[in-house]
């Protein structure tokens, strides 16, 4: 038998989650601040609650997917959470996730925080490879694992309620670094008669191949020896940076996305780390804090 689920928040993500639970036959109670968004789901078999309190009362498992942590506080203000299993899929910072966990536990709930590594079209589509990072109550995770795995994959990353958010933000931060590189690469070819659609597969394949380097970085961080298995040493890489900056200038492209990373590479070289790979940049980022 499928277990009942309550879902608060029917935005783009919440609505996709709701459809996946309905399709799998879970009795689903939904609530949204703007009630109109619950109407279509009610027609598909969900029970639309009149208030967040009524929705929370309807199931032991309460999933929240709202805009931000402030909306979670607003929606659950004064709601009785005693004995509930609260799963919060709202994106936030690690610190706010930890505070929200303490807040929920003070109110007698078990708490699991989630960071969604998927966009709405990937929900309910296992082949799409999306998943949610979970952290917080392991008991809650184990107990509701089957229901949680219905819309999208699950990865439990620890008892610290902030770890799901930390993993989420770490992956997305790396993504923005990649997007920055992609923007710079397209800008470089943009003034020429080069078809961006023909260029894109070259870019994608190169990034996929180079992303493998993260395994080597990880091994060096673990061992503490940044000269082990070096593929391209820092001295050589820094010597190459004028080529990148000159090419940007020749193509009339602003170097502003490349410069900060090159500056860190130079600082590490000047500190005497020419035989290393790029791993030392991680320490520079930490040392500045
Ligand atoms: P939407 O903007 O589509 O929906 C926001 C939801 O939050 C709506 O249900 C809205 O209610 C509700 N809300 C906003 N403010 C309040 C408030 N003060 N009190 C009560 N409810 C409130 O966002 P998504 O559904 O796309 O995203 C939800 C969460 O999922 C976010 O934390 C987002 O970061 C995360 N996420 C989204 C992804 C995406 O691609 N969409 C990908 C990964 C994570 P109302 O309808 O009344 O405005």
In this prediction the ipTM stands at 0.99
The more confidently predicted of residues 287 and 156 is 156
112 inside domain: yes
Is 0.90 topped by the overall pTM? Answer: yes
17 inside domain: yes
Structural domains of the chain, count: 2
172 inside domain: no
Q: Is 67 in the pocket of ligand 1 (CB under 6 A)?
A: yes
223 inside domain: yes
Q: Band the pLDDT of 224: cuts 50, 70, 90.
A: very high
55 inside domain: yes
Domain limits for position 85: 5-166
Contact 162, 133 (CB under 8 A): no
Condensed to tens digits (0 to 9), the pLDDT of residues 37-48 reads 999 999 999 999
Q: Find the Cα–Cα–Cα–Cα dihedral 248, 253, 255, 261, rounded to 10°.
A: -70
Is pLDDT of 1 > 80?
no
Q: Over pLDDT 90: what percentage of the chain?
A: 98
Q: How far apart are CA 202 and CA 173, in angstroms?
A: 23
Q: Is 10 in the pocket of ligand 1 (CB under 6 A)?
A: yes
Q: What is the pLDDT of residue 288?
A: 64
Q: How far apart are CA 65 and CA 72, in angstroms?
A: 8
Q: Are residues 132 and 269 in the same domain?
A: no
What is the average pLDDT across 154-172? 98
DSSP state of 77: T
Is pLDDT of 289 > 80?
no
Residue with the nearest Cα to atom 19 of ligand 1?
Answer: 71
160 inside domain: yes
What is the average pLDDT across 272-288? 92
Q: Are residues 145 and 264 in the same domain?
A: no
104 inside domain: yes
Q: Are residues 70 and 160 in the same domain?
A: yes
239 inside domain: yes
Q: What is the pLDDT of residue 153?
A: 98
Q: Is 278 in the pocket of ligand 1 (CB under 6 A)?
A: no
The sheet that has 61-64: what strands, in order across it?
47-48, 28-31, 5-8, 61-64, 85-88, 110-117, 131-136, 153-156
Residues 6+ apart with CB under 8 A from 45: 22, 28
């Amino acid at each position: 038998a499928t277990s009942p689920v309550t879902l608060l928040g029917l935005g783009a993500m919440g609505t996709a989650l709701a459809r996946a639970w309905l399709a799998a036959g879970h009795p689903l109670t939904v609530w949204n601040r703007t009630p109109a968004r619950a109407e279509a789901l009610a027609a598909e078999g969900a029970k639309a609650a009149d208030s967040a309190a009524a929705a929370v009362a309807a199931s032991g498992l309460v999933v929240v997917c709202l805009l931000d942590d402030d909306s979670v506080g607003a929606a659950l203000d004064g709601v009785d959470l005693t004995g509930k299993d609260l799963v919060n899929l709202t994106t936030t910072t690690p610190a706010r996730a930890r505070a929200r966990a303490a807040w929920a536990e003070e109110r007698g709930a078990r708490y699991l925080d989630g960071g969604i590594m998927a966009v709405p079209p990937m929900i309910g589509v296992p082949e799409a490879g999306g998943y949610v990072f979970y952290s917080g109550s392991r008991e809650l995770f184990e107990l509701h694992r089957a229901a949680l795995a219905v819309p999208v994959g699950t990865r439990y990353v620890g008892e610290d309620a902030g770890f799901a958010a930390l993993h989420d933000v770490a992956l997305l931060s790396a993504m923005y670094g990649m997007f920055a590189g992609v923007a710079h690469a397209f800008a470089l070819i943009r003034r020429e008669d080069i078809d961006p659609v023909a260029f894109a597969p070259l870019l994608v394949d190169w990034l996929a191949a180079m992303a493998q380097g993260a395994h080597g970085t990880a091994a060096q961080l673990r061992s503490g020896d940044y000269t082990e298995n070096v593929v391209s040493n820092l001295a050589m890489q820094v010597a190459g940076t004028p080529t990148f900056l000159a090419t940007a200038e020749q193509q009339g492209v602003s170097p502003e996305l490349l410069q900060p990373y090159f500056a860190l590479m130079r600082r590490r070289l000047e500190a005497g780390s020419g035989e290393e790979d790029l791993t030392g940049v991680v320490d520079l980022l930490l040392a500045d804090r």
